[in-house]
Chain A
Amino acid sequence: MATIQESPNSASAPSPAPVRGKINYLTALKEAIDEEMGLNPDLLCMGEDIGLLGGAFGVTDGMAAKYGTHRVYDMPISEAAIVGVACGACLNGKSVMVEMQFIDFISCGFDQIVNMTATYHYRTAGEVSIPMVIRGPAGGYGGGALYHSQMNEAWFAHSPGLKVVCPSTPSDAKGLLKSALRDKNPVLFYEIKELYRRKDIEEFVPVGENSLVPLGKARIAQEGTDLTIVTYGQNVYHCLEAAKILQNEGFSAEVIDIRSLVPLDEETILTSLAKTNRLLCVNEAPMTCGFAGEILARMAEKAFHLLDAPPGRITRLDTPVPWVKPLELFVLPSVAKIAEAALRTVRF
């Protein structure tokens, strides 16, 4: 039988390398888990193939050897039981990081997330809180086809009691994951698998407490004056590309990466709208009841008087994500679609 060799000094806190280069999104996630596992002896990890193998993408590589199989659990292929067992462990004093092998499979654990875990604090009138993070690889543009490409964050933003987070940079991946692992509430953490090893977004990321990024604070990815584009996840990069096209046409776009859907930093969006008076929201998920629509609705309620043009949105078509490239790009938001909508808005 395969066994995991535990390293001798397994309990010691991680020691940062003396000289640090730029790191990628995946390494940033790994560092976050490693640091928090080192700091919090009550933090456990549960997921499919996360121990011996180190995770399908390697996010938990080496964790079982370092922290032991009593803290890092290779779970049966049972998404509902993984979440439910984690919930029970949290009820009895632990914190748990749950890995979904692909975020698409989260639907198999849906009831345990939305009915069992999300409601625990509420239905016990505050007696119990469940410090659980459910994280996993999400998103399209990689030819993953229907069941390895989804962004299903709206299901959970629609379930009170859950926080929902989606980082787009290595710094945010690390900082938000660390904050999520310290949060008293269940947090759904959407990792963008196409960004895991993307070279051009590698950056210097701090070690330890300096790397923390609070949940519920948006990031201004680029400042601008003529249009506010609100987005998150992989679309941040599409929007930045579109902003260049706008610039060539003489317009300046502000790109806001909300980073956290629940809680949502409305303040940053409102402040931006007071300056630009125009709004475009972009998300990778389907249009109907998607989060771009939620932002539009809130801004229509709170900032109608600020708007000089009809607010718009670019989303996936209301279809599944097809496999082959031309079809996939046809349904997903693209730089061209975003730029076109943005120009329409600024020229209104």
Chain B
Amino acid sequence: MLLQLYLARYFDVRLIKEKKRGRLKGTLYSSHNQEAILVGSLFGLKSTDWISPIHRDMPAFFLKDARKGWRNPDRIGMTIQEVCAQVWGKAGSPGRARDNWSHIGSKKNRIIHSTSMLAGTIPAAAGVVLADRLNGGDALCVTYNGEGSTAQGVFHEAINFASVHKLPVITIIENNEWAYGTPNELGYSLDDFARRADGYGIPGLIADGQNVLDVYDKVMQCVEHARAGNGPSIVECKSFRAYGHGDHDDDRAAKYRPTEEVEAGRSRDPIAIMKRIMVERGALSPEDATKFMAENKGAAETDNSDFPPEVVAYLTEGVEFAVASPVPPAEEGGMWVFAE
């Protein structure tokens, strides 16, 4: 888990650096400070389970089923090469770079293809597991959503439907306190988004989104609930968006958010919290805990020595693959409108 936290963090840091170096264009949506939500929720899933990540969840694409080993060819998840090729808009992307950033997916890897439409894939998650059940399977689907997306009508429609048919859809609400430039108090009259579950008669749990073990624990309670045939649930993960909505928004975010709030929000770095717990439990020596000091630093303040070498090596392979991969031929713009 710790290694996966490093990998997710390094993905973020490395892309920002690649952009600064001029090797990458486009907007980046940072998962910095929210990595524990992804790592903790994915860790206990079966390979055959589905996930539905969105813009804040880019590492989920390559962390899916990563417990088997990132490089394991039997892993049911995307490779770092595929994900990097997507970020770079290259032909090596599973979606051949037809849409940007997180708007990819894979039937084979059981990842629902996301769109820009917030909460727009939750109905599909319900449909996917419904079909799986009809096919005799027991797959569940974990969907990821910002707390802002819970205001969408389709969020309600889909979870309501899932609750009627007791479909195994676990909705993760990444409550990072902000939806782009809007603080939660302007969007909601609700402190705990987990309470949305009450409206559907399903369990709503709250996890400390900075503590990967707590996220794991709460999600696994929901997984057991779903596998026992009891249907959907919601897990609200309390977190904080450390930087701008996207990197284009970093400068403005520094102005629209009070400094004290940002400092408090960044102070609970999930990597540091995981290390502290591991040291307390004797799973990590205090010396080893200080070997790679990625925590509590912005991208510019870190260098490769702050991350375990296997993390740097894996990501570097992805980046080099993406840089070398060609841009798809222009004519592809006219292809695949209809299936033959």
B-binding residues in A (CB < 8 A):
44, 70, 75-76, 78, 80-81, 83-94, 111-112, 115-116, 119-129, 160-161, 163, 184-185
Picked from B120, B122, B135, B338, the residue with its CB within 8 Å of the CB of A161 is B338
- Tell me which residues across on chain B come within 8 A of A75, comparing CB atoms: 161
- Tell me which residues across on chain A come within 8 A of B99, comparing CB atoms: 123
Picked from B107, B122, B135, B157, the residue with its CB within 8 Å of the CB of A91 is B107
Contact call B154/A88, Cβ cutoff below 8 A: no
- Tell me which residues across on chain B come within 8 A of A123, comparing CB atoms: 95, 98-99, 103, 113, 115
Picked from A115, A160, A184, the residue with its CB within 8 Å of the CB of B115 is A115
Count chain A CB atoms within 10 A of each CB in B105, B125, B131 and give the residue with the most: B131
With A80-B157, A115-B120 already in contact, the answer to whether A88 and B336 are too (CB < 8 A) is no
Bound complex: CA A185 to CA B127 (Å) = 17
- Tell me which residues across on chain B come within 8 A of A115, comparing CB atoms: 115-117, 120
With A81-B154, A91-B128 already in contact, the answer to whether A184 and B339 are too (CB < 8 A) is yes
Picked from B94, B122, B339, the residue with its CB within 8 Å of the CB of A84 is B122
Contact call A125/B160, Cβ cutoff below 8 A: no
Picked from A111, A124, A128, the residue with its CB within 8 Å of the CB of B120 is A111
B327: Cβ under 8 A from any A Cβ: no
- Tell me which residues across on chain B come within 8 A of A81, comparing CB atoms: 123, 126, 154, 157-158, 160-161
How close is B35's CB to chain A, nearest CB, in angstroms?
A: 27
B324: Cβ under 8 A from any A Cβ: no
Bound complex: CA A126 to CA B129 (Å) = 22
6 closest cross-chain pairs (CB), A and B = A84-B123, A88-B127, A88-B124, A81-B157, A129-B339, A78-B157
Contact call A70/B134, Cβ cutoff below 8 A: yes
How close is A98's CB to chain B, nearest CB, in angstroms?
A: 11
A-B contact pairs, 9 of them (CB 8 A): A88-B124, A89-B128, A92-B132, A111-B154, A115-B115, A115-B120, A116-B121, A119-B115, A123-B115
- Tell me which residues across on chain A come within 8 A of B125, comparing CB atoms: 88
Chain B residue nearest to A122 (CB atoms) is B336
Chain B residue nearest to A108 (CB atoms) is B153
How close is A35's CB to chain B, nearest CB, in angstroms?
A: 21
With A70-B134, A76-B157 already in contact, the answer to whether A161 and B337 are too (CB < 8 A) is yes
How close is A50's CB to chain B, nearest CB, in angstroms?
A: 15
Bound complex: CA A166 to CA B65 (Å) = 46
How close is B13's CB to chain A, nearest CB, in angstroms?
A: 29
How close is B89's CB to chain A, nearest CB, in angstroms?
A: 13
Bound complex: CA A97 to CA B131 (Å) = 14
A-contact bits for B112-152, CB 8 A (1 contact / 0 none)? 11011100111111111111101100000000000000000
How close is A54's CB to chain B, nearest CB, in angstroms?
A: 20
Bound complex: CA A112 to CA B126 (Å) = 14
Contact call A85/B113, Cβ cutoff below 8 A: no
- Tell me which residues across on chain A come within 8 A of B127, comparing CB atoms: 84-92
With A125-B98, A127-B94 already in contact, the answer to whether A88 and B128 are too (CB < 8 A) is yes
Bound complex: CA A45 to CA B116 (Å) = 28
Contact call B124/A85, Cβ cutoff below 8 A: yes
Count chain A CB atoms within 10 A of each CB in B120, B121, B128, B336 and give the residue with the most: B336
Contact call B123/A88, Cβ cutoff below 8 A: yes
Contact call A89/B120, Cβ cutoff below 8 A: no
Chain B residue nearest to A131 (CB atoms) is B339
B332: Cβ under 8 A from any A Cβ: yes
Chain A residue nearest to B105 (CB atoms) is A124
How close is A47's CB to chain B, nearest CB, in angstroms?
A: 13
Bound complex: CA A125 to CA B132 (Å) = 24
B284: Cβ under 8 A from any A Cβ: no
Bound complex: CA A76 to CA B134 (Å) = 20
With A85-B123, A91-B112, A111-B120 already in contact, the answer to whether A76 and B160 are too (CB < 8 A) is yes
How close is A16's CB to chain B, nearest CB, in angstroms?
A: 28
Bound complex: CA A111 to CA B132 (Å) = 24
Contact call B107/A89, Cβ cutoff below 8 A: no
B277: Cβ under 8 A from any A Cβ: no
B257: Cβ under 8 A from any A Cβ: no
Q: Other than the known A84-B127, A161-B338, what 12 A-B pairs have Cβ atoms closer than 8 Å? A: A75-B161, A76-B157, A84-B120, A84-B123, A88-B112, A89-B127, A115-B120, A116-B121, A119-B115, A122-B336, A184-B340, A185-B338
B164: Cβ under 8 A from any A Cβ: yes
Contact call A121/B123, Cβ cutoff below 8 A: no
Contact call B336/A126, Cβ cutoff below 8 A: yes
Contact call A84/B124, Cβ cutoff below 8 A: yes
How close is B162's CB to chain A, nearest CB, in angstroms?
A: 9
With A76-B164, A127-B94 already in contact, the answer to whether A87 and B135 are too (CB < 8 A) is no
